[in-house]
A and B are shown apart, each in its own frame.
Chain A
Amino acid sequence: MTDDPLDHRIRTGIDALVRSAPEPPPFDELASAAPAPSAQRGRSMLLAAAAVAVVLAIGALVAVLARPDDARPAVRTGTTTTAPGTEAPLFDTRWRLWSASVDGDPVAFDPESPPELRLTHTSGCEGHTEPCTPPPGDTASWYDGCNQGAASVRIDGDEGEVQAGTGASTEMACAPAKPSLSDPHISTPFRAVLDGPFTITRQDGDLVLTADGTRLRFQPDDEGFAPTSADVLVEDEAGGVAYRVTWARDDERYSLDLQLDDRGVGRSGSGLSAEVDDQSSNAMQTGVGDANLLFGLVQSDAERVVYQPEGGDPVELPRYELDGADPGYQAVLGPVEQAITWDLVAYDARGNEVDRLHWGS
């Protein structure tokens, strides 16, 4: 590598970059130096008790905003680009929380990292700006900059209702320097809406969800999700529970969603994504009835994908072709032995390892 002029140029560039590096922030100023967002998409179901304790301990450092609902700027700031007279579509728009109140009292949240809501669907409501009645299986998903969740939601006219049962959600330990849905301050009103019947209205282009005395107002964000209709990849049953896996792709990422139909108990779902140009595997395990399913995205040129639980037997997973794009991804899905520590290993046609996703310690 040293004889190649390219290597010299790369080293020169890296050295120039590193020379421009600032001094690292002092340890005792880390909490205040950290920006409010600390996004860590949910990748496991961990109890966040420890994180909540830290949140409480460092709560004084948290910058939050209790924004009255009527304190809207005359001209919107931030990234909203919806043209006057037009409204962002109800579905596949990234809705960012603008204000929250319970019985008229504003609820504080971090304005730099507001909780997000996304309404997704499989088909039937493309382009609608007003509430419509999509076919069953539609999902309301939320993301608060740390944790995420999803629940099947029925939207009928101007009313919506999360289907019976609880949606899947992650309980990640997040940075203390931000409030999140782990923080009851904001989680209580957010979940009060998403845990039961709620009403949907559009107000000046915004989306307003209300339930009892709780009111959440969201603004559309121009970094919203590209409208995509998800394609059904697999419909099957495991552990006595029917499930469906759909996939979609936008300009930035592939996404994979798994929804369960837990016969009389309710519907729930979970999902993951992988960046188009990154070509790194992503996968997760989820309980389906008394079974345990692994589903994930693996670079498209892998010829064999093996799940390797620590101390257990390796299992080759069935692969599912997606759109055939290059570079692109393929999906893997199959029942596996649940493990805390595991690897997902991808091999090429010659048996060479081309990617490895490691979970656990």
Chain B
Amino acid sequence: MTDERAPEAVDDAAVYAQHAPRLIALATALAGPATAEDVVAAAVVRVLASPSWPSVTDRGAYLTRAVVNEVRSAHRSSLRRAAREARAAVPERVDAADPVPEILGALAALPVRQRAVVFLTYWGDLTPSAVAAELGIGEGSVRKHLARARQTLREELT
């Protein structure tokens, strides 16, 4: 993922193929591997049904927001339950002696928006301005979310 975007594909299948790998990675970071497919599928289906989709100029960012919103949706209790279960299951996937479970637990405890900012910053290597554009929020808000996330993680991990 870079700041320079490839030209947007024309048809929906091509757009999806272009963005699916990072969307599934994002969904995994936000909701856990067990729920990621559901999140991506629901987000993309909803986006494609939206009447505003054909006029969207930055489809990659639009899809990113759709995935984040899918996870954030306050009324998605079944997904929340699944996400909790998925997060609880994550440590079983790694060696118990590995320090990774600790950071996974701390990441999972962050609010969704903070997790999205952390993911785009650390995995996507995006600058705060690029993260802001991707999520449709202000750069100041990105910096604030990132600072709060890092503060929380530091407290949790020390």
Contact = CB atoms under 8 A, between A and B. Distances in A.
Interface stretch (A160-168, A173-181, A317-325): A173-181
Interface size band for B:
35 or more
B116 to A, nearest CB: 10
B146 to A, nearest CB: 10
Contacts of A7: 122
Interface in B64-88: 69, 72-79
A156 interface: no
Contacts of B131: none
Contacts of A37: 42, 73, 75-76, 78-79
Contacts of A265: none
Contacts of A16: 94, 100, 103-104
Nearest to A255: B74
Interface string A276-306: 0111100000000000000000000000000
A11 B122 contact: yes
B107 A17 contact: yes
Interface residues of A, number: 68
A14 B72 contact: no
B72 A275 contact: yes
Given A25-B37, A27-B17, A275-B72, A14 B45 contact: no
B46 to A, nearest CB: 4
A34 B140 contact: no
Indicate the member of A17, A280, A355 with the most B CB atoms within 10 Å: A17
Contacts of A278: 72, 111-113
A175 B76 CA distance: 14
A357 interface: yes
A278 to B, nearest CB: 5
A234 interface: no
Q: Which of A23, A37, A41, A79 has the most CB of B within 10 A?
A: A37
Interface in B126-155: 132, 136-141, 144-145, 148, 150, 153-154
B45 A358 contact: no
Contacts of A22: 24, 28, 33, 36-37
B85 to A, nearest CB: 14
Contact of B107 (A13, A116, A174, A361): A13
A215 B101 CA distance: 51
A30 interface: yes
Interface stretch (A46-54, A66-74, A98-106, A188-196): A46-54
7 contacts: A22-B37, A27-B17, A34-B46, A37-B79, A143-B75, A173-B49, A278-B111
Given A18-B28, A40-B73, 9 more contacts: A6-B150, A12-B99, A13-B100, A17-B29, A27-B16, A37-B42, A353-B141, A354-B140, A361-B52
Interface of B: 12-13, 16-17, 20-21, 23-25, 27-29, 33, 36-38, 40-42, 44-46, 48-52, 55-57, 69, 72-79, 90, 93-94, 99-100, 103-104, 106-107, 111-113, 118-119, 122-123, 132, 136-141, 144-145, 148, 150, 153-154, 157
The 3 closest A-B pairs by CB, nearest first: A356-B138, A13-B103, A353-B140
